[in-house]
Amino acid sequence: MSTPDPNSSLTPAARQLNWPLFRQHMLDNVRDGVVFVDPHGKIKVWNRELESITGMTAGKVLEQEFSPAILQLSDTEGSPLSKSECPLTECLQTGVQSNGEYRISGRSGREVKVEITFIPALCAKGLIHGAVLLVHDYTIQLDLQRQLKDLYEFSTLDPLTQVANRSEFERVLEEYVRAHQSTNFVCSLIVCDIDFFKQINDNYNHHIGDQALVAFASLLKKFVRSKDVVARYGGEEFVILCANCDGAAAVQRAEEIRTTLTQTPQPMLDGKCITASFGVSQLTSADSPTDLFVRADTALLNAKEEGRNRVACETGIEDPQAIRAGKGEALSDAGLVWKKSQGTLLLSEEFKTTTPVPLVVSKLRGYIVERNAELLRIEADWVSMQIECVDPNNSGRRGSFIADIEFQVRTVNKIEQTRRNIGKETFIRITLREAKRKWFSTNATDLAPQMLRDIRDFLMISDSDSRLKVEPATSSDVVR
């Protein structure tokens, strides 16, 4: 086969120029690495830019057969390419151009990320006379993108907790207010902070306090969606912008966060839990960003004044706790709604156990039979019965009680599912009331704890199960 004339496609005027000189000048100044290979894959051209990228001079590679080993060519995962996997082989065989991202060994052995285009050199008759490789080093671009990303994060994120900082929150809040004014975009704001945070710093140290802030921020991020924004407003105070969320839904979400927090032991605090208070407001058409924040912050102050570890909302948003109280229900410290018992209350405790409800119910049947209890009322998740209790140390001391036992099952949040390998928890509330007023009623308060222990034993509630209270928690397991 005769070698084609490289000047055959040039105009007469171009033929009068020193074409090899022009070509060499172009190759030496182009910003991509360039390789020419003949039909057999032998390297005929290796330009200066490729020398700069790889650290290999043209003299070392010219007339060698091109192979992936010369560049230590590998895919984006770092797996070396064999000769049969090399796109140049396919390019020379099929005459089809291809393009891809690869890694090569650069100067001083550093890894370089490149984009390589394999271009077949075809004559007018479609014969393959070799190929051109264009090697583009985009490592600098990636470094620039990484630097821009770092700069953006530095300007928008809180360096400790890695949630949005105050300036970013204020910027997004202004956008949400404008969106509401133009499209009636629904938005609510939750303002919250850790209860008695100063005591954590005083009792443990500021480094532990920082860890508690990080843990709190991480929990908040688990309860938000893609368009929501979690930000650290300052100190131990955080905010959540809830997009497409009305005030009632935001209150419910705040309650879920509050409940989860009270049930999440913190390793940095020796396994104790922390609590937080929450204030909620909903965006209106007349609001400025400041108006929305002030109302939520005022609700937060109300939550603190009412005892902390609770959710408060602005006027106009239905407060779940107030609604439940109006229906004669009781809200537990775990966030569960229980029926409100009537009569003289002697003792009421709530327990959390992993024992399944069917097993608990089976044990309760045995208790009713063995203690000869009188069933007063029974529902799917609630039993009321009257029981006579005798002091084992003094048969003359008796008490007649009504025991209300209620069950609830709740799916464990994802954090606890992973940590404890359980899917559901059983909550049991036992309430003891006086059944009659007789001369021995003064002993009832002494006998009630004994009866509670008796019921617990039958229902397989062990001392290792969590004991919760219907009133706000005061356990030493919660940092105060």
Same fold: 157-327 with 345-468: no
Q: How far apart are CA 54 and CA 52, in angstroms?
A: 6
**pLDDT at residue number 109:** 76
In this prediction, residue 16 carries a pLDDT of 56
CB under 8 A, 24+ apart: contacts of 384-389: 386/435, 387/451, 389/447, 389/450, 389/451, 389/454
Please list the pLDDT of the chain residue by residue as tens digits (480 residues): 445 555 555 566 555 555 566 677 777 778 788 999 999 999 999 998 888 888 889 889 899 999 888 888 888 888 888 888 889 988 988 889 998 888 888 777 778 888 899 999 888 777 888 999 999 887 766 555 565 555 555 668 898 999 999 988 998 899 888 888 777 778 999 999 999 999 999 999 999 999 999 999 999 999 888 788 999 999 999 999 998 888 888 998 999 999 999 989 999 999 899 999 999 999 988 889 999 999 999 999 999 988 889 999 887 665 545 444 444 444 454 555 565 555 566 777 787 777 777 787 888 888 888 888 888 887 767 788 888 877 767 766 677 788 888 887 766 555 555 555 556 777 888 888 777 654 344 455 667 777 888 888 887 776 555 555 433 333 334 444
User: So what's the pLDDT on residue 450?
Assistant: 78
Question: How far is Cα 162 from Cα 408, in angstroms, rounded to an integer?
Answer: 37
User: Measuring CA to CA, which residue among 469, 457, 478 is closest to residue 351?
Assistant: 469
CATH topology of domain 345-468: TATA-Binding Protein (3.30.310)
- 3-state secondary structure at position 286: coil
Q: Could you tell me if 441 and 389 are in contact, meaning their C-beta atoms sit under 8 angstroms apart?
A: no
Rg from Cα positions in the chain: 37
Contact assessment for residue 241 and residue 187, using Cβ atoms and an 8 Å cutoff: yes
CATH 3.40.710.10 corresponds to the domain 157-327: no
State the catalytic residue, choosing from 49, 51, 168, 236. 236
- pLDDT of 473 reads 32
- Residue 364 dihedral angles phi and psi, to the nearest 5°: -65, -40
Coil, strand or helix at 328: coil
Give dist(CA 426, CA 334) in Å, integer. Answer: 12
Note the pLDDT of residue 472: 32
For 223, list phi and psi in degrees, rounded to 5.
-110, 15
Domain assignments of the chain as residue spans, ordered by start: 12-142, 157-327, 345-468
**The Cα angle at residue 355 between residues 354 and 359, in degrees rounded to 5:** 160
Clarify whether 379 is annotated catalytic. Answer: no
State the burial class of residue 410 (Cβ atoms within 10 Å of its Cβ: 0-12, 13-18, 19+).
middle
CA distances from 393 to 346, 367, 396, 432, 435 (A): 21, 21, 9, 21, 22
The structure's pTM equals: 0.45
Q: What CATH fold (topology level) applies to the domain 12-142?
A: Beta-Lactamase (3.30.450)
Backbone torsions φ then ψ of 414, nearest 5 degrees:
-60, -30
Tokens of 161: 């907790």
Residues 6+ apart with CB under 8 A from 298: 279, 314
